[in-house]
Amino acid sequence: MPKPDSGQTGTEGHIQAADPALVTSVGPARVADADPAALSAAGPAPVADANPVPLAAARRVGFLLTLVLGGLTALPPLSIDMYLPALPAVTESLGSPAATVQLTLTACLAGMALGQLVVGPMSDRWGRRRPLLIGMMVYVAATAICALAPTAELLIGFRLLQGLAGAAGIVIARAVVRDLYDGVEMARFFSTLMLISGVAPIIAPLIGGQVLRITDWRGIFVVLTVVGIVLTLVAAKWLHETLPPEKRHSGGVGEALRTMRGLLSDRVFTGYTLTGGLSFAALFAYISASPFVVQEIYGASPQTFSLLFGVNSVGLIAVGQINGKMLVGRVSLDKALGFGLGVITLAATALLLMTAGVFGKVGLLPVAAGLFVLMSAMGLAMPNTNALALMRTRHAAGSASALIGTSSFLIGAVASPLVGIAGEATAVPMAVVQLTCALGAVGCFLGLCRPWQRRAAAV
């Protein structure tokens, strides 16, 4: 089995080689020694010995590809965040305690984590399109059934199935990016995806809050079913195959396990994977706890909660775009990631001090400000950990993407119920979980990734 690539590439971005048929349908091909700014502006470039693709066509294909992949990566926040304003209503409607209803989030996250372990290797063996379309169709069916669930236990079960199927969109979108891009161009593309997929956390709670004004929580799953149908049709039409047959793995489960073991034996890849997973867990601690913290503890309405959630998501998107447009190619990805982790840790510390009453009784505004800073700093942590981890491997992008996603969702699923361990009257558990995860992410970054050693070796 080929070994993972060595560390981060230089400042010049590359786009992976593709066969000529893929160039005409997808766009990107390998371009060596190209100016990153020109590549970013013009989008995917044609192979030198293939028929040239007109600049306008390249831009159009690149834009469509970005929209499709952005929609697929937006599916998880849509599935989770649109449902958040309804958590108190679900608790009352199904007559279940808040901790049980929060397990509907945990089940969806766990499903997305486990599903990626299956879909990732499948996509390395059979290509990207077939596993994606099958997963999307199952997602649509599971989401429709969620709207009819009569008990919390059944809702938890179908949310698990929804997550298992929805994992296809997450893992394959990352694998497609790795198929087509390399180096700083990959980091830029991930930041661009955040602009699209980041809109989902902004509009999802707002849509959820408005749906609750005209119907009950079941209507949210009806809306998600429609979104799933649209994404399935769009992917079927516009997302072409990006993994040529000669680059696919022919082995079965044994080879998939050996591939994942080889990836995990790379200390740096594992370090970035865990760093990203723990950062995501700090984010999901906020996602899971904020409906109760903002609405139950601070007395805000579902609409006010949706507005605050949207503002925080704007911060994440804005910082993500600063990362992609201004920092990538000028500042090393490790430095940007390290700064982001530091800000996340400081914000989590401030939230713990405020919620524990160290500064006396504080209102919603200071807590919301702390959450805004924490969310915004995720715009540096999330795209850079993905890019730095995927730069370590070219031979098994699907399996690598699965490991990255699985770690994030599994750690997030563990963190989710912990935020409600002390009941609904205090936000201290949320802050404790966030700070613990942030410190863990810093520890993995410093202890496993050790970017200063790779810089010294490069010199």
Mean per-residue pLDDT, 143-169: 90
Mean per-residue pLDDT, 120-135: 87
**If pLDDT is split at 50, 70 and 90, which confidence band does 454 have?**
low
- What's the pTM value of the predicted model, to 2 decimals? 0.67
Residue scoring higher pLDDT (433 or 4): 433
The radius of gyration of the chain from alpha carbons, rounded to an integer in Å, stands at 21
**If pLDDT is split at 50, 70 and 90, which confidence band does 142 have?**
very high
Answer yes or no: are the C-beta atoms of 415 and 288 closer than 8 Å. yes
At 57 the pLDDT is: 45
**If pLDDT is split at 50, 70 and 90, which confidence band does 374 have?**
very high
Mean per-residue pLDDT, 90-100: 80
SS3 letters across the chain:
CCCCCCCCCCCCCECCCCCHHHHHHCCCCCCCCCCHHHHHHHCCCCCCCCCCCCHHHHHHHHHHHHHHHHHHHHHHHHHHHCCHHHHHHHHHHHCCCHHHHHHHHHHHHHHHHHHHHHHHHHHHHHCCHHHHHHHHHHHHHHHHHHCCCCCHHHHHHHHHHHHHHHHHHHHHHHHHHHHHCEHHHHHHHHHHHHHHHCHHHHHHHHHHHHHHHHCCCHHHHHHHHHHHHHHHHHHHHHCCCCCCHHHCCCCCHHHHHHHHHHHHCCHHHHHHHHHHHHHHHHHHHHHHHHHHHHHHHCCCCHHHHHHHHHHHHHHHHHHHHHHHHHHECCECHHHHHHHHHHHHHHHHHHHHHHHCCCCCCCCHHHHHHHHHHHHHHHHHHHHHHHHHHHCCCCCCHHHHHHHHHHHHHHHHHHHHHHCCCCCCCCCHHHHHHHHHHHHHHHHHHHHHHCHHHHHHHHC
Q: For residue 111, give the nearest of 157, 69, 73 by alpha carbon.
A: 157
At 34 the pLDDT is: 37
Tell whether the model's pLDDT for residue 8 goes beyond 80: no
Tell whether the model's pLDDT for residue 441 goes beyond 90: yes
**If pLDDT is split at 50, 70 and 90, which confidence band does 252 have?**
low
Question: How many angstroms separate the CA atoms of 268 and 274, rounded?
Answer: 10
Question: How many angstroms separate the CA atoms of 245 and 251, rounded?
Answer: 13
Burial 338-372 (b: 16+ CB within 10 A, else e): bbbbebbbbbbbbbbebbeeeeeeeeeeebbebbb
Tell whether the model's pLDDT for residue 43 goes beyond 50: no
Question: How many angstroms separate the CA atoms of 225 and 341, rounded?
Answer: 36
Looking at residue 277, its amino acid is G
Tell whether the model's pLDDT for residue 255 goes beyond 90: no
At 253 the pLDDT is: 61
Residue scoring higher pLDDT (232 or 118): 232
What dihedral angle (degrees, nearest 10) is formed by the CA atoms of 232, 402, 27, 32? 170
Angle between helix 152-180 and 55-81 (nearest 10) = 160
Tell whether the model's pLDDT for residue 46 goes beyond 50: no
At 3 the pLDDT is: 42
Question: How many angstroms separate the CA atoms of 171 and 163, rounded?
Answer: 12
Ranges 219-228, 242-251, 270-279: which has the least confidence: 242-251
If one counts every other C-beta atom within 10 angstroms of the C-beta of residue 51, the result is 9
pLDDT tens, residue by residue, 68-81: 888 888 887 788 77
Tell whether the model's pLDDT for residue 45 goes beyond 60: no
Mean per-residue pLDDT, 356-374: 87
Tell whether the model's pLDDT for residue 169 goes beyond 90: no
Ranges 221-225, 289-293, 352-356: which has the least confidence: 289-293
Ranges 48-57, 204-213, 281-290, 381-390: which has the least confidence: 48-57
At 337 the pLDDT is: 94
Answer yes or no: are the C-beta atoms of 186 and 15 closer than 8 Å. no
Ranges 44-53, 126-135, 172-181, 315-324: which has the least confidence: 44-53
